[in-house]
Amino acid sequence: MSGSMTQANVHSGQDATVSFPMRIRDARVVVTSPGRNFVTLKIETDQGVYGIGDATLNGREKAVVAYLEHHVIPVLIGRDARQIEDIWQFLYRGAYWRRGPVTMRAIAAVDVALWDIKGKALGAPIYDLLGGRSRDAVMVYGHANGGDIPETIDAVGRYLDAGYQAVRAQSGIPGLELAYGVGRGELHYEPADAALPTQSLWDTRKYMALAPKLFEVLRDRFGPEPRFLHDVHHRLTPLEAAQLGKRLEPYDLFWIEDPTPAENQEAFRLIRQHTTTPIAVGEVFNTIWDAKDLIQEQLIDFVRASVLGAGGLTHLRRIADFAALWQVRTGCHGATDLSPVTMGAALHFDIWVPNFGMQEYMRHTAETDAVFPHAYTFERGFLRPGDAPGHGVDLDEVLAARFPYEPRQLPVARLTDGTMWNW
Ligand code: EZ4
Ligand code: CO
């Protein structure tokens, strides 16, 4: 009897003095801007174990801060931090007002912090709590971009030289200022660039002429091996998207992303009927309901819902399991507005999820990495979550306080005649 107790303690790998339940003693929001704005939730328990969750909503950060501080934190205090599922249901059903980017990011922050706490309390990385590793490492793609096709080719070449097996390519359109996806320097693409929205221009005809040319030249130059991806960023009508998909077929893209807005899931049927270019959608999705028809009618190939956008690990794994029934794979959003906390949690998810497709990865600045010390590592096109208990990402609050909030919004887009368009 005592022998098996000892055995259990050894295998738990954790301080046996941690007793249950674990009451949530305190929770607070930290806003910091180490190169860009991040909203972080820290939940503390009466056992001394704490957890961290990301609540960043790019360009609308303060809305989530208010939602957490006024409406979520007060109902968390005193709850048992072990009850992740019940707390998720309480925040989702209990709000009465369901879904939406603000609510679901607030829920995600709580959920990820609670998974972090559970992992730390049990001495287990989150991927082990989910069911263990399904693969050795997580393939990621980076953003290569340039002002024109030759610059974009050079940028893609640098990613391939660095060992990436997958690269997203976006090219500026000559004559159109500030086309989507064109950054201001290597590895650090950052669209939220000003306190008031920057205005960009969009011209579908110019874009439709340029995009197939870009991938023709990329295949010529780099051969059949690299996985190439491309983000249309909601700019086309369904018919135009179908035309683009057809024109890109010879260049064997890994996916085209957000070819048309997905508010109307039905719109993707028309695209699907006309092209075999794989389709990825979902960085703006908040719940499984945003993706339900797209998945079960096999209108997409990759669902890009993220831990941050779609209510945390508890809900994202439900989306992934549902998607697996139709052989739809994951492709988690991973731009720089998802903090290292989300990246850490995403990597635990990615290394577990059976129907993994690809993970987006844009590097954070050195300041961001310093504010969020993390266990995950990058090597030649792959990320690994590390084996730290929980998600393995922490928050240096002293350092965070040195980077106060800076108002920043995403750009807007107009057609060349002045009509508002989808950015
Ligand atoms: O524009 O995350 O695929 N990645 C993207 C991103 C989004 C930003 C918006 O905040 O589309 O660059
Ligand atoms: Co995108």
Q: What is the pLDDT of residues 191-220, one digit of tens each?
A: 998 999 999 999 999 999 999 999 999 999
Ligand 1 in reach of 335 Cβ (< 6 A): yes
- Beta-carbon neighbour count of residue 188 at 10 Å? 15
Instruction: Give residue 186's pLDDT band: very low, low, confident or very high (50, 70, 90).
Output: low
- Locate the ligand 1 atom nearest the alpha carbon of residue 258 and give its number: 11
**Residue whose CA is closest, atom 6 of ligand 1?**
335
Atom of ligand 1 nearest to the CA of 189: 12
Give the separation between CA 258 and CA 236, rounded to whole angstroms.
9
Nearest CA to ligand 1 atom 9: 58
Reported pTM: 0.94
Which positions are catalytic?
Answer: 180, 233
**Closest ligand 1 atom to 192 CA:** 10
Cα(306) to ligand 2 centroid in Å equals 12
Residues 303/295, Cβ–Cβ less than 8 Å: yes
Indicate which ligand has the atom closest to the C-alpha of 180. 1
Query: What would the two tokens of residue 13 be?
Result: 């790998």
State whether the beta carbon of 258 lies less than 6 angstroms from ligand 1. no
CA 121 vs CA 11, 48, 202, 282, 413: distances in Å: 13, 10, 51, 33, 47
SS3 408: coil
Q: Please give the single-letter amino acid code of residue 92.
A: Y
CA distances from 208 to 219, 248, 253, 274, 414 (A): 18, 10, 16, 16, 17
Q: How confident is the model at residue 3 (pLDDT cuts 50, 70, 90)?
A: very low
Q: Which residues contact 415 (CB under 8 A, 6 or more apart)?
A: 201, 202, 203, 421
- Please indicate whether residue 58, judged by its CB atom, sits closer than 6 Å to ligand 1: yes
Question: Of all protein residues, whose CA lies closest to atom 1 belonging to ligand 1?
Answer: 191
| Mean pLDDT, rounded, of the chain | 94
Domains and CATH numbers, the chain: 5-124 (3.30.390.10), 130-391+404-421 (3.20.20.120)
| C-alpha span between 423 and 198 (Å, rounded) | 11
Please report the pLDDT score of residue 15 as a whole number. 54
- The region, left, alpha or beta by phi > 0 then psi within -120 to 50, assigned to residue 9 is alpha
Give the phi and the psi of residue 237 in degrees, each rounded to 5.
-80, 165
Which atom, in ligand 1's list, is nearest to the CA of 233? Answer: 11
| Residue 176: pLDDT band with limits 50, 70, 90 | confident
Q: Give dist(CA 266, CA 299) in Å, integer.
A: 9
Ligand 1 site-directed mutation target among 233, 235, 336, most atoms within 8 Å of CB: 233
Ligand 1 and 54: CB distance under 6 A: no
Tokens 């996806």, residue located = 181
**387 vs 11, 107, 127, 276, 392, CA distance in Å?**
15, 25, 9, 39, 8
